[in-house]
Amino acid sequence: MSEWIKITLTEDELPKQWYNLNADFPAPMPPPVDLEGNPIGPDALAPVFPMNIIEQEMCTDRWVDIPQEVLGIYKIWRPTPLYRARRLEEHLGTPAKIYYKNEGVSPAGSHKPNSAVAQAYYNKAFGIKRLTTETGAGQWGSALSFATHLIGLECKIFMVRISFTQKPFRKIMMKVWGGDCVASPSQETEIGRRILEEDPNTPGSLGIAISEALEQAVQREDTRYSLGSVLNHVMLHQSIIGLEAKKQFEKVGIYPDVVVGCAGGGSNFAGMVFPFLADKAAGREVRIVATEPAACPTLTRAPYVYDAGDVAMMTPLLPMHSLGHAFIPEPIHAGGLRYHGMAPMVSHAMNHGLIEAHAIEQIECYESAVLWARTEGFIPAPETSHAIAQVIREAKRAKEEGKEKVIAMNWSGHGLMDLSGYDAFFEGRLTDYQLPEEQRLRSLLCLEGLPKPPAS
């Protein structure tokens, strides 16, 4: 136990540029399109995002400078430590060496602020006064509340009503940072009022919340919308994770054989693995593995299509693996990562064979999370447990094969705000759940009639 367990970097070693995988793809990504299949230009996005973010969304430069003010706020929790999970290795009796990047050390407790701070900064620089967004469980809403207050913007969060009621602490967290979080549907938007008139007791949905956030962003000149995952600029901002990790590995002369991340919309996964994919694109041998819940299997069981980001189809169509914008995962699923689509960049990487993906059921995830807490100490977010489960699989296989494999993982966040899932697990209220094939096919019906992306 006298060996090192974490590699820290000083603030001076914080990367000064983000990495953009768009510069290194073997083929360019298909553009976002409208319902007729016509490519969307920057102007079409201008009511929703500021132009400097739109430019970043379309950018193919390999490196993008991180603004000084963003670096200043990153320093509150970055560089994050890279750990060696020695206690877990010992418990598993594996010859594998397990490393994890701890993104749970941010004030909001996950990787989400990496993009929230950047988005707040660019909106402020463009003269915007107020951001709107939606949040489900509350991770993104918390991160954006934190970021907007420090940058100096107002923040309005539409939180799915059922979560708003069931997770009262998330909304208090947002309020501490000055964020104005309301249950969605709300009385504050036309679409919210319409839905409440139809059904005053609706539990709400992410789709409704996105529509409310978009409505307010479009209607007010001083307001724009902010999204915590899926889009290219979010992947760009998150690349700071993998860039730091590579520096940390360099310090000890190690390069991972496999890099693992969990994937919902794709942001923490992309953030960790894209800088390693740059090496893979240049010929380096490294396995890149995404894990997702069996209840919401976009990479493993969804077709590559053009689909909208929201139920109401207010967004442009994006080229991505999608279960269909009308898809709603079963409430039995407690592990997050519930988005119907997968980030276009992650989807594109998948199509080009740069990454592999596995779907994992939730009992294995929670078992892995508890084992993690009891060996490594930190309590993982339910989302993160999907990566941990895969790492444990890899470590066990290394043991069977007697291989000294080096495994790296993005530990995307802590679970202190999500302990009710652990409670359900301990109480035996969780069961495994795999999306039934019939339901999957039904959910894809909403894609009929939409344009198709070119086969890659």
Binding site for its own copies (CB under 8 A): 1-2, 4-6, 8, 10-12, 68-69, 71-73, 75-77, 87, 105, 107, 109, 146, 149-150, 168-169, 172-173, 175-178, 370, 373-379, 416-417, 419-420, 422-423, 426
Nearer to its own copies, 51 or 419 (CB): 419
Decide: helix, strand or coil at residue 311: coil
For 147-211, give the secondary structure using H, E and C.
HHHHHCCEEEEEEEHHHHHHCHHHHHHHHHCCCEEEEECCCCCHHHHHHHHHCCCCCCCHHHHHH
Nearer to its own copies, 90 or 330 (CB): 90
Report, in Å, the least distance between residue 417 CB and its own copies: 6
Decide: helix, strand or coil at residue 437: helix
| Closest CA relative to residue 70, chosen from 109, 9, 124 | 124
Nearer to its own copies, 328 or 373 (CB): 373
Report, in Å, the least distance between residue 92 CB and its own copies: 16
Nearer to its own copies, 35 or 419 (CB): 419
For residue 22, give every residue at least 6 positions away whose Cβ sits within 8 Å of its Cβ, in sequence order, or none: 29, 59, 60, 232, 345
Number of helical (H) and strand (E) elements in the chain, helices listed first: 19, 15
Nearer to its own copies, 377 or 449 (CB): 377
| Closest CA relative to residue 296, chosen from 260, 266, 255, 251 | 266
Task: State the residue for tokens 């964020």.
Answer: 179
| Closest CA relative to residue 177, chosen from 149, 139, 154 | 149
Report, in Å, the least distance between residue 11 CB and its own copies: 5
Report, in Å, the least distance between residue 48 CB and its own copies: 27
For residues 444 and 323, the answer to whether their CB atoms sit within 8 Å is yes
Q: How far apart are CA 355 and CA 365, in angstroms?
A: 21
Nearer to its own copies, 66 or 231 (CB): 66
Report, in Å, the least distance between residue 282 CB and its own copies: 31
Nearer to its own copies, 375 or 434 (CB): 375
Length, in residues, of the chain: 456
